[in-house]
Each structure stands twice: as structure tokens, then as C-alpha cells.
Amino acid sequence: MKIKIKVKGIVQGVGFRPFVYRIAKKNNLKGYVKNMGNYVEIYLDGKKEDIDNFIKDLKNKKPPLSRIDSLEIIECNDIINFNDFYIIESENSNFEEEGTIPADVSICEECLKELFDKNDRRYRYPFIACTNCGPRFTIVEKLPYDRENTSMRDFPLCEGCLKEYKNPLDRRFHAQATCCPICGPKVFLSDGKNIIAEKDDAIKEAVKLLEEGNILAIKGIGGTHLCCKVSEDEPVLNLRKRLNRPTQPFAVMSKIEYINLFAEVDETEKEVLLSPSRPIVVLRKNQNYDKYFSEYVSNLDTIGVMLPYSGLHYLLFDKEIAYVMTSANLPGLPMVKDNDEILEKLDGIADYFLLHNRRIVNRCDDSVIKKVANRFVFLRRSRGYAPEPIEVNVNNDKNILCVGPELNSTACIVKRNKFYLTQYIGNTSKYETFCYLKDAIDNILKLTNTKKIDVIVCDLHPQYNSTKLAEELSEKFGVEIFRVQHHFAHAYSLLGDNNYFDDAVILSLDGVGYGLDGNIWGGEILLFKDGKLKRVGHLEEQYQLGGDLATKYPLRMLLSILYKAIGDEAFNFIKRYNFFSEKELNILKFQLEKKINCPLTTSTGRVLDAVSSLLGVCFVKTYDGEPSIRLEPIANKFKGNIEVEPKIKNNILNTTELIYNAYEMFIYGDSLSKIAHYAHIYIADGLFNIVKKIADKYGIETIGITGGVSYNKIITERILNNANKENLNFIYHKRVPNGDGGISFGQGIGYIINEP
């Protein structure tokens, strides 16, 4: 009996071909296995019973990092005969097939053991890797995923490594990142002008410099980190000053055995931390945190923690329990990855540079995960996850390119029912990041073997750079553009993430999005019924005093809403903060009276920003969402119960009432934590009351929440608890970021649902 099997899924760079070789030999089969670029082809010649056993093994014993999406089995009548089973040379398919390059994988236990084994030839070699671990996506240039198509082609294998690479029974068989100190990449330490140490001496000297309080730029797998010790104020404050990140919390890297010293971590969080993807996980600080960390590492009640994920990272840990490990980029710009760029752009930021000579082909920021409503959600989906596809139960026969939003951007290519999200891109209003988006799109098209595009999907906002890119690509590919409103895209993202396409009422809550009426949306209640989305409620419209300036200076939002509530007294009250001069206040009053540069907004984020400034928590936003993010830990300090009576009319939640009540509580001396908690509960209960009313009206049993505000544990978990009490089904994110990182995915879902 002779058959040919076409295997699609994550079957490259995960030891799949040697696995096929072993089970073929075990089952006495002849033939071959080869990589076809976007799938693996297997030819089998043998007894039917042996082939059946092979297929069972293929399905049930596959490598842990692999994933089989489909098996196509074809009986063959050819006269080709093999005298053994072989792994033969890769080739590209002539047909367009969707496939997957695996994400980068953390160092495995076997390599880690070798790394610290003095008798092993890879002892203390920072680039140690095998079939089960190491870089994938960040080193690949094109398909098929073979060494000559990666940046490892710059390092021809030595005799010892080549022997392992060619041995099907060795765990380094066709491990494209495999190497050793003789033939592999080299690490070196620079002071910015000269190389001052090489190889292991460079790592040992880097550890010493970190202990002395220096800031180091450390080139890793997908980019560069800026690193310093966490225990002293001076290096952390120096890093903040040099990076111009005065308040944004830094992520840290620590070994698993140290985390309990400074953070609360449950078994599920530990499992995610230890997963091969090794994301940053947002953990709650514990009572001993201040013993080990400078107060300037994080001003929240949480700390983002990741484990070492490469040999180089593990070699840094000697005396320190943790290091600040933050992406090496200036605000809004991509993380630097090339040696010349690192030395140039981080000059004056890093004191020393621990670099290596392996090229990073695809930069990839660390992924960030947070536990909300007893499940894990992505704040950022990137290293360790991208570009592995997300499968959705939809019928689609087009290649759809979705270019995403403006901030916290990703792009997405949709092929059949697979959604390939790029790595995290960032703020595409910046030219360098915009270029990064274009490069990432070109790369994802190449890696998914996408030869044509049928439609391009973008945001409704006419001025976004991503919208302009869509128009440019529309001309290039000669295809139509389909536009999806921002908050609708959030809702579609939630539906697709859950493979749920029945009727639902969805809260789409964030800071800003261009609305169907031309105003700024951000607190939207959407009805999904009979396959169509419709806006059926929202937060009260408020004037965003000064337009975009109100997003940077939240006191402007407070002044605007208070002016609506108490008139000119708002200006007398705002003087207590000594933030605006008399001249500025006069200008602001004129603007409000005449409604000059005061666009209307229903943004949930802007309301939370107003409360944040009222309580003196944040007056200047230095990173996305800062005022409301810093407000949440203040609210968490309140342990009592608060009764609220949200004011609602015509499915509109009155937020002037919220701000006025918070103002009165502030005047009468209530604690900041109580006021902050009140604001969160008012929003959560008010929105739930509207959602419940709409659900009852239409006989709907499912509600959901999406958008950046849905990362807020207090609001989301309050709505979840309310839903449980009312026996409503609650849907929430799990595979796709809640925020703008999931917009491109939602744009794809939106097009498929509403295909013209």
C-alpha cells in the first residue's frame, strides 16, 4: 500500500520531520518526509496495518510544540519504490497553501542542564538551542524553514554540530538554530566605542557592571532590552530619565524560585510564566516587595514579571534576584535590534552594551498577559505567540489583509479560517513605527505564502496612517477597501475570539475611536442581532476640552465635565491644583463657552482620567492609559461596600452625575480610595443596567466586554458578577488582545460577517 500525506499546521521548526522519521522506522515503512514550505509531505510504502499504526502515532505522539491542523491522505498508484525511509531536501509548493512558522520558544530543560554542565561542550554557551527550543520566527527570512533561510546561515556548522544536525535520532536533528562555541554566534561587551570583553568574559563582566549599578543594553532573541538592578533607586531613576519614561512601570526578569519573595503568584500564573512562550505576566506585589525593589520600578500595586527565556538570560543571574528588563526603545518607536542601531540610538541611555553577531530578522517585543475575571488575557501578543494563527469557525474563501488601528497596532492576514496576527507593532503615527508596520505586513504575507490579496480592511478614521497605508496597498494590489468602525471591530474581535456568533449585547469601552457620527466614541453599548451590529447606548457625550490635549492633560476633562455640573465654580475649584495659570484658565473658559476645539466624546477612558486628576493621581499622561491605570490601584485599596444609583436615560449613562458626586465626596473629605472605587462601580453598574435592559428587551442571554477599559479588573469583574447573578452568559477575551492589538483581528471578522 502506498499513500501520500499532506500535513498542515505548526510542523516546521518543532522537530516534526525527525519525529516522522522515527515513527516510520518503528512501523517498518519506506518512503520519505519533506518540507514543502507551508506544509510537510509524507510518502509511505508498506502494509496497511503498519500505515494505520503510523497515522495513530502521528496524531497521538507528535512533538509537544507541534500542532496538526489537517491531514490530507491520498492513495497512490505510482511505481516509485524506496528501499528505506528518508528525510529529503525541502522544496516549495507551487500552490498557495496556508502554513505556520512557529513562534520563538524558551530554552528547554535539556539545554538548560547542558548550559550549566561543566563537562558539556556547550557549557555556558549563551546561544544553546535544539529542536525543542530557541528562536524561530525572529530568525527566519523565508520559507521553507531551513537553516539557509534563516540568519543562522551566517554560521556554518562545525563537524560536531553537523553530525548532530544530520542524525535523525539526535534532538538537534535539523534544529535550525543549533550551534556551539566553535561555530555559532559570539557575544561581546562594548562601552559604545570599543569591545572590552568577548565570549564568557563579556557575560561575567556584564554581571559585574550590573551589580555596580550600570545600565546595560542587552541584545536578545527578538530585540534589545535595557537592564539594571531593581534594588537601588539610582540606576532605576537614571534609566527613567534617560528613556524619558518618568512613571511607566518597568517589567522585570526573575527566576521562578525568587518570585515569591516580592509578588503573589498562584499556580495558574506560575504555569503561564513557565510556559515555552515565557510572556511577561502581571502579578500583584506582596507585602515584602519593598524589601527587594526600588519604589521607582513600578508605582502600581502590580509588577510585570517574566522568566529568563534564553541561555544568555540565565547566565546573567548570579547574585541579583531580579533585573529591570524593559524594551530598548524611545516612547512610540520600535525596539532596536541591529548592532549599529543599538550603539547609535542607545548612546547616552545605556552605559554598556552586551551584544552578539547573530542577525535578528524579525523584531518581536515581549508578550504581556494579565489575569482578569479568573482568565488570562493578552495586553500584548507578540514573542512566543506570533505569528501562530488563531482559528475561527467562519466560512471564508478570500485572502483578507487587515491593517489595524493607529495605536498599539498589529496587522492581520486572514486565509480561510486562520487569522495570522503580526507581532506587536505600536504607535503607527510615528514614521519609524509606520515603516515597521509595512515591513511586518510584507513579512507575514511572505511567511504565509500569500501570493494575492482579495480585499483590504482598515479603520473608519480617515486620517490614521494605517488608513493611508490601506489606500496605498489598495492601489498596489488593485483591490477594494472595506472600513470597519473602531468599536465595532473591538466587538467583532470579541465574537471571533470566542467563536460566538449568536445574538449578544457587547460593551466596547476604551479611550478613543472615530464614531459613525463623526464624534469620538469610547463608551459604547452594541447590539449584535441576526448577524448585524448596532449602537444602542453609550456614555453621556462630554466636551473634550482642547481635543487631543485633553487626553494628555486629564484636568481638562475634569474641568469640562465639572463646568457642565457646577458652572463657573469649576474654575475656582480647579485652581487648587496650581496646574493652569490665570491666563490659561481664561482661555479654557472661552473655549468651553464658545465650544471651540471641544469635540464631543463618549469615552470611558476620559471619564476615568477626570476622576484620576480630581484625586491628584495623574495630571500628565506619559504613556497610553496612564491616568486610569494608576487610578485602579487606588480604588483597590477600598475594602468596603458602596451603593450607587447610576443615572440613566434613553440607554445613556450620565457621567456628569458621576463626576459631580465624586467632586462632592472629595470636598467633604471622603478617602481617595472610596471615591476611586465609587467611580469604577458607578460605571460598571450603570453600564450593566443598560445592557441588562437591552438583553431583556430582545430576549438575549449573552453579554460581553471588550476594549482597553476591559483590562480594568474592578469594572470587568463587577460586570461579570452582575451577569452571574442574572444568569447571563458572559464572554470575554482569551486568545486576542482586548485592546487595540486585537483590532486587526476584529476587522477581519467584521469583513467576513458583513461581506458585500
Q: What is the pLDDT of residue 9?
A: 83
Residue 99 scores a pLDDT above 70: no
Domain co-membership, 244 together with 191: yes
Q: What is the pLDDT of residues 171-212, one digit of tens each?
A: 998 899 999 999 999 999 999 999 999 999 999 999 999 999
Q: What is the pLDDT of residue 4?
A: 92
Q: Look up residue 359 and give its three cell numbers.
A: 542577525
Tell me the three state secondary structure of residue 752: helix
Q: Is residue 240 part of a domain?
A: yes
Q: Is residue 378 part of a domain?
A: no
Q: What's the rounded Cα separation, in Å, for the pair 333 and 426?
A: 7
Q: Is-contact 281 267, C-beta < 8 A?
A: no
What's the distance, CA 271 to chain centroid?
A: 18
Domain co-membership, 550 together with 618: yes
CATH of the domain at 141: 3.90.870.30
Domain co-membership, 543 together with 686: yes
Domain co-membership, 170 together with 209: no
Domain co-membership, 400 together with 455: yes
Residue 585 scores a pLDDT above 60: yes
Q: What's the rounded Cα separation, in Å, for the pair 557 and 140?
A: 47
Q: Is residue 93 part of a domain?
A: no
Q: Is residue 160 part of a domain?
A: yes
Residue 95 scores a pLDDT above 70: no
Q: Which residues pair with 3 in a beta bridge?
A: 44, 75
Would residue 124 show up in a list of annotated catalytic residues for this protein? no
| H or E element at residue 520 | strand 520-529
| H or E element at residue 202 | helix 199-211
Amino acid at position 496, single letter: G
- Give the contacts of 682 (CB within 8 A, at least 6 positions apart): 644, 646, 658, 661
Q: What is the pLDDT of residues 693-715, one digit of tens each?
A: 999 999 999 999 999 999 999 99
Q: Is-contact 485 513, C-beta < 8 A?
A: yes
**Of the residues 27, 35, 399, 408, which is catalytic?**
35
Q: Is residue 501 part of a domain?
A: no
Residue 724 scores a pLDDT above 80: yes
Number of domains composing the chain: 5
Q: What's the rounded Cα separation, in Å, for the pair 180 and 129?
A: 9
Q: What is the pLDDT of residues 218-259, one digit of tens each?
A: 999 999 999 999 999 999 999 999 999 999 999 999 999 999
For residue 92, name the pLDDT band (cuts at 50, 70, 90). Answer: low
Domain co-membership, 555 together with 412: no
Residue 93 scores a pLDDT above 60: no
Q: Look up residue 155 and give its three cell numbers.
A: 554560521
Q: Look up residue 557 and give its three cell numbers.
A: 476633562
Q: What is the pLDDT of residue 146?
A: 87
Q: What's the rounded Cα separation, in Å, for the pair 13 and 175?
A: 7
Dihedral pair phi/psi, residue 243, rounded to 5°: -85, -10
Q: What's the rounded Cα separation, in Å, for the pair 691 and 503?
A: 13
Q: Residue 271 to residues 186, 256, 275, 322: CA-CA distances in angstroms? A: 32, 11, 6, 19
Domain co-membership, 226 together with 317: yes
SS (H, E, C) 446-506: HHCCCCCCCEEEEECCCCCHHHHHHHHHHHHHCCEEEEECHHHHHHHHHHHHCCCCCCEEE
CA-atom Rg of the chain in angstroms: 27
Q: What is the pLDDT of residues 358-414, one digit of tens each?
A: 999 999 999 999 999 999 999 999 999 999 999 999 999 999 999 999 989 999 999
Instruction: State mean pLDDT over 678-684.
Output: 98
Q: Is residue 661 part of a domain?
A: yes
Q: What is the pLDDT of residues 254-276, one digit of tens each?
A: 999 999 999 999 999 999 999 99
Q: Which of 185, 212, 227 is the last residue of a domain?
A: 185
**Which of 358, 356, 34, 55 lies closest to 174, judged by CA?**
34
Q: Which of 185, 217, 248 is the last residue of a domain?
A: 185
Tally of CA atoms within 13 A in the half-sphere of 664 that contains its CB: 8
**Residues constituting the chain:** 756
CATH of the domain at 627: 3.30.420.40
Q: What is the pLDDT of residue 17?
A: 85
For residue 509, name the pLDDT band (cuts at 50, 70, 90). Answer: very high
Q: What is the pLDDT of residue 403?
A: 97
Tabulate helix, strand, coil % of the chain (nearest 5).
35, 20, 40
- Give the contacts of 165 (CB within 8 A, at least 6 positions apart): 157, 172, 173, 174, 175, 178
Instruction: State mean pLDDT over 291-317.
Output: 98
Question: Could you tell me the pTM of the whole model?
Answer: 0.93
State the DSSP code for 653: E
Q: Which of 53, 87, 121 is the last residue of a domain?
A: 87
Q: Could you give the percent of the chain with pLDDT greater than 70?
A: 99
Q: Is residue 69 part of a domain?
A: yes
Domain co-membership, 709 together with 579: yes
Q: What's the rounded Cα separation, in Å, for the pair 113 and 123?
A: 9
For residue 96, name the pLDDT band (cuts at 50, 70, 90). Answer: low
Q: Look up residue 538 and give its three cell numbers.
A: 453609550
Q: What is the pLDDT of residue 39?
A: 86
Q: What's the rounded Cα separation, in Å, for the pair 349 and 347?
A: 5
**Which of 469, 452, 420 lies closest to 99, judged by CA?**
420
Residue 564 scores a pLDDT above 60: yes
Domain co-membership, 134 together with 11: no
Q: Which residues pair with 537 in a beta bridge?
A: 525
Q: Residue 432 to residues 180, 421, 425, 467: CA-CA distances in angstroms? A: 35, 20, 10, 16
CATH of the domain at 282: 3.90.870.40
Q: What's the rounded Cα separation, in Å, for the pair 731 and 703?
A: 6
Domain co-membership, 575 together with 712: yes
Would residue 35 show up in a list of annotated catalytic residues for this protein? yes
Domain co-membership, 309 together with 458: no
The mean predicted confidence, pLDDT, of the chain is: 95
Q: What is the pLDDT of residue 98?
A: 59
- Between CA 626 and CA 511, with CA 577 as vertex, the angle to 5 degrees is 25
Residue 14 belongs to domain spanning: 2-87
**Of the residues 17, 136, 383, 630, which is catalytic?**
17
Q: Is residue 340 part of a domain?
A: yes
Amino acid at position 392, single letter: V
Q: What is the pLDDT of residues 597-616, one digit of tens each?
A: 999 999 999 999 999 999 99
CATH of the domain at 483: 3.30.420.360
Residue 723 scores a pLDDT above 60: yes
Instruction: State mean pLDDT over 511-515.
Output: 95
Q: Could you give the percent of the chain with pLDDT greater than 90?
A: 86
State the DSSP code for 190: E
Domain co-membership, 599 together with 703: yes
**106 CB-contact burial (10 Å; exposed 0-12 / middle 13-18 / buried 19+):** buried
Q: What is the pLDDT of residue 38?
A: 73
Q: Is-contact 714 301, C-beta < 8 A?
A: no
